[in-house]
């Protein structure tokens, strides 16, 4: 009986794999949270807070992009490297 317990314990210890920690990818510096939006003349703008620097910047978009983007949502600016 003692040998069975030892064998069972050894099997459990050797059979367990150590889980690797999940690495989170670094933030994309051309992305952030939409802080505000508006229209000035022909500019449909979104004010976005950068994931990397925390700085806010306004960007003009066409109306279809602007209509689908809302304050509080995560958004990436494809032609920008960061701000």
Q: In angstroms, rounded to a whole number, what is the distance separating the alpha carbons of residues 20 and 32?
A: 29
Query: How confident is the model at residue 5, as a pLDDT?
Result: 57
Query: How confident is the model at residue 20, as a pLDDT?
Result: 81
Residues 6+ apart with CB under 8 A from 37: 44, 45, 46, 47, 66, 69, 70, 71
- State the chain's mean pLDDT as an integer: 87
Interval 27-79: pLDDT, tens: 789 999 999 999 999 999 999 999 999 999 999 999 999 999 999 999 999 99
Report whether 27 contacts 51 (CB < 8 A). Answer: yes
Domain boundaries, given as residue ranges, for the chain: 24-83
CATH entry, 24-83, from 3.30.470, 1.10.10, 2.60.40, 2.40.50 = 2.40.50
- Predicted confidence band at 11 (pLDDT cuts at 50, 70, 90)? low
């Amino acid at each position: 009986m003692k040998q069975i317990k030892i064998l069972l314990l050894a099997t459990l210890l050797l059979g367990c794999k150590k889980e690797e920690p999940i690495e989170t990818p670094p933030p994309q510096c051309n992305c952030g949270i939409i802080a505000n939006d508006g229209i000035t003349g022909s500019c449909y703008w979104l004010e976005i807070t950068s994931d990397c620097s925390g700085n806010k910047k306004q960007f003009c978009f066409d109306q279809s992009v602007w209509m689908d983007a809302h304050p509080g949502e995560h958004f990436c600016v494809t032609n920008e490297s960061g701000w």
